[in-house]
C-alpha cells in the first residue's frame, strides 16, 4: 500500500525543509543550483506530482469545469462535449461530466456534486423539463459562473451559446420552396423546449415571408420518443391533402418519421421529401437521407461555450460587469448529395 509522494517526503529524503523543496520545484530565486537539481531528481524519481486538491485550498482554483448534459448517447451532445474537452484541455482545464437524463432532479444532484467539488465553472445543456433555475442561481453564492449552450433557459439572465434556429428554419424552407414545395409540414418537438418555440416562430415567419399558405394542421408535435413521432407522422399522412415535404425537429425524429413513412409505402424524397435539424454524421452513409439538414455545429458550440466560460474566469473580479454574454451561431443548411 503506497501513498502519493509529497514535498514533505522529498524534504525528508534530502534533509531539507519543505519550503526549500517547494521553491526548488518552482525555480524560485535564491535556491542553490545544486539543491534545485537534487530536489528535481528525487521528485522525478518518486514520480511526484503536485496535489491539485491541496493547491485549491490556497488558490481557490480547481482547474476543473463541470459539464451537464441530458445524455451522451445522443450524437449531438457527445460531439459537443468532445469540443468542450478539447478546448478545455488545451487550456489546462479538466472536465467533470454528468448526465441529467432529462430529469430535473438528477440535474440538481449533479449541480450539487459539482459545487462540492468546487469546479471553477459549469457548462450546461438543460434537461427537457427544467423550468426552475434556482439550482443554477445558487451557484452565484459560490462564485461559479454558468454558461448554457444549445438547450438554454428561456429568459434573458443567462450566458448562452446557441444556434439561430429561425435562420436555419428559413434556409430549410427556402430550399424546399425553391424545389417547388408549398405543402410543407413540420414535426416539432415538445412544447416545453425553447427550441420548439423558436423553430415554430421560424417556420411561421419563413412561410409568411415566402408567401406560402400556413396551414395549422401541418404542424404536429412529438415528445421525441419513436412512438410519438410515428403518431405525429400518421396524423400528417391521414390529412385529406397531405404534405409534400416534412421538416423534422431533429435527426432522430426524422429517422423515426422516415421509417414510419417507408412502412406506409411512401417513397422517401419522392412522394414526400424530408429535411431535418442537427445533421447526424451517419447521414452520409444512408441510401436515402433527408434532402438536407440544418447543421448546428455541436462541436463548435461546445468550444465556444468553453471559450466563454474561460473568458469569464479570467476576467479580474473588479472588472466584472452584470452583462450576460450571448453567442449566436449561424446554422448552415447541409444538402445531402
Partner DNA sequence: CTGTTAGCGCATTCAC
Partner DNA sequence: GTGAATGCGCTAACAG
Binding interface with a copy of itself (CB under 8 A):
1-5, 46-47, 49-54, 56-57, 60, 62, 64, 71-73, 75, 78-79, 81-82, 85-86, 89, 92, 94-99, 109-110, 112-118, 138, 140-143, 255-256, 258-259, 262, 280-282, 285-288, 317, 320
Q: Please report whether residue 327 would count as binding DNA according to CB under 7 A.
A: no
The answer to whether 150 and 163 are in contact (CB under 8 A) is yes
Q: Which is closer to a copy of itself, CB of 40 or CB of 109?
A: 109
Q: How far apart are CA 44 and CA 42, in angstroms?
A: 5
Q: Which is closer to a copy of itself, CB of 120 or CB of 198?
A: 120
Q: Which is closer to DNA, CB of 37 or CB of 326?
A: 37
Q: Which of 2, 27, 44, 57 binds DNA (CB under 7 A)?
A: 57
Q: Which of 37, 41, 45, 50 binds DNA (CB under 7 A)?
A: 50
**207: which 3 cell numbers?**
412561410
264 binds, among DNA, a copy of itself, none (CB under 5 to 8 A by kind): none
The answer to whether 66 and 122 are in contact (CB under 8 A) is yes
CB of 58 to a copy of itself, least distance (A): 11
Q: Which of 2, 3, 211, 319 binds DNA (CB under 7 A)?
A: 3
Q: Which of 37, 45, 51, 112 binds DNA (CB under 7 A)?
A: 51
Q: Which of 37, 45, 54, 315 binds DNA (CB under 7 A)?
A: 54
Q: How far apart are CA 165 and CA 197, in angstroms?
A: 10
19 binds, among DNA, a copy of itself, none (CB under 5 to 8 A by kind): DNA
Q: Which is closer to DNA, CB of 40 or CB of 106?
A: 40
Q: Please report whether residue 18 would count as binding DNA according to CB under 7 A.
A: yes
266 binds, among DNA, a copy of itself, none (CB under 5 to 8 A by kind): none
Q: How far apart are CA 295 and CA 306, in angstroms?
A: 20
Q: Which is closer to a copy of itself, CB of 156 or CB of 285?
A: 285
Q: How far apart are CA 121 and CA 140, in angstroms?
A: 11
**228: which 3 cell numbers?**
410519438
Q: Which residue, 305, 299, 304, is CA-closest to 281? A: 299
CB of 61 to DNA, least distance (A): 11
CB of 15 to DNA, least distance (A): 6
Q: Which of 19, 89, 140, 315 binds DNA (CB under 7 A)?
A: 19
Whole-Å CA distances, 172 to 27, 108, 120, 247, 260: 59, 36, 39, 8, 22
Q: How far apart are CA 218 and CA 130, in angstroms?
A: 28
Q: Please report whether residue 61 would count as binding DNA according to CB under 7 A.
A: no
214 binds, among DNA, a copy of itself, none (CB under 5 to 8 A by kind): none
Show the binding pattern over residues 29-48: x = contacts DNA (CB under 7 A), - = does not.
Answer: -xxxxxx------------x
Question: Which residues here bind DNA, judged by CB under 7 A?
Answer: 3-4, 6-8, 15-20, 22-23, 25-26, 30-35, 48, 50-51, 54-55, 57-58
Amino acid at each position: 500500500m503506497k501513498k502519493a509522494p509529497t514535498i514533505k517526503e522529498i524534504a525528508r529524503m534530502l534533509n531539507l525543509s519543505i519550503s526549500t523543496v517547494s521553491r526548488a520545484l518552482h525555480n524560485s530565486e535564491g535556491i542553490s543550483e545544486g539543491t534545485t537539481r537534487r530536489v528535481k531528481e528525487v521528485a522525478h524519481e518518486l514520480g511526484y506530482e503536485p496535489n491539485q486538491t491541496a493547491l485549491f485550498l490556497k488558490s481557490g482554483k480547481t482547474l476543473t469545469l463541470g459539464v451537464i448534459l441530458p445524455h451522451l448517447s445522443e450524437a449531438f451532445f457527445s460531439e459537443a462535449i468532445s469540443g468542450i474537452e478539447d478546448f478545455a484541455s488545451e487550456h489546462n482545464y479538466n472536465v467533470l461530466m454528468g448526465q441529467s437524463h432529462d430529469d430535473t432532479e438528477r440535474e440538481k444532484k449533479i449541480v450539487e456534486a459539482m459545487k462540492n467539488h468546487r469546479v471553477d465553472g459549469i457548462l450546461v445543456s438543460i434537461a427537457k423539463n427544467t423550468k426552475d433555475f434556482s439550482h443554477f442561481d445558487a451557484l452565484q453564492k459560490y462564485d461559479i459562473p454558468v454558461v448554457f449552450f444549445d438547450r438554454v433557459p428561456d429568459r434573458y439572465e443567462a450566458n448562452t451559446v446557441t444556434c439561430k434556429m429561425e435562420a436555419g428554419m428559413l434556409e430549410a424552407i427556402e430550399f424546399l420552396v425553391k424545389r417547388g414545395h408549398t405543402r410543407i409540414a413540420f414535426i416539432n418537438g415538445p412544447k416545453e423546449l425553447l427550441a420548439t418555440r423558436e423553430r415554430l416562430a421560424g417556420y411561421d415567419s419563413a412561410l409568411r415571408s415566402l408567401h406560402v399558405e400556413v396551414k395549422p394542421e401541418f404542424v404536429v408535435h412529438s415528445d421525441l420518443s419513436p412512438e410519438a413521432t410515428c403518431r405525429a407522422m400518421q396524423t400528417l399522412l391521414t390529412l385529406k391533402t397531405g404534405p409534400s415535404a416534412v421538416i423534422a425537429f431533429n435527426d432522430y425524429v426524422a429517422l423515426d418519421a422516415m421509417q414510419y413513412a417507408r412502412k406506409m409505402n411512401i417513397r422517401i424524397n419522392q412522394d414526400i421529401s424530408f429535411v431535418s435539424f442537427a445533421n447526424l454524421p451517419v447521414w452520409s452513409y444512408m441510401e436515402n437521407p433527408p434532402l438536407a439538414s440544418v447543421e448546428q455545429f455541436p462541436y463548435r458550440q461546445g468550444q465556444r461555450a468553453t471559450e466563454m466560460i474561460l473568458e469569464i474566469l479570467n476576467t479580474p473580479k473588479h472588472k466584472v460587469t452584470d452583462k450576460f454574454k450571448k453567442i449566436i451561431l449561424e446554422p448552415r443548411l447541409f444538402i445531402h448529395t
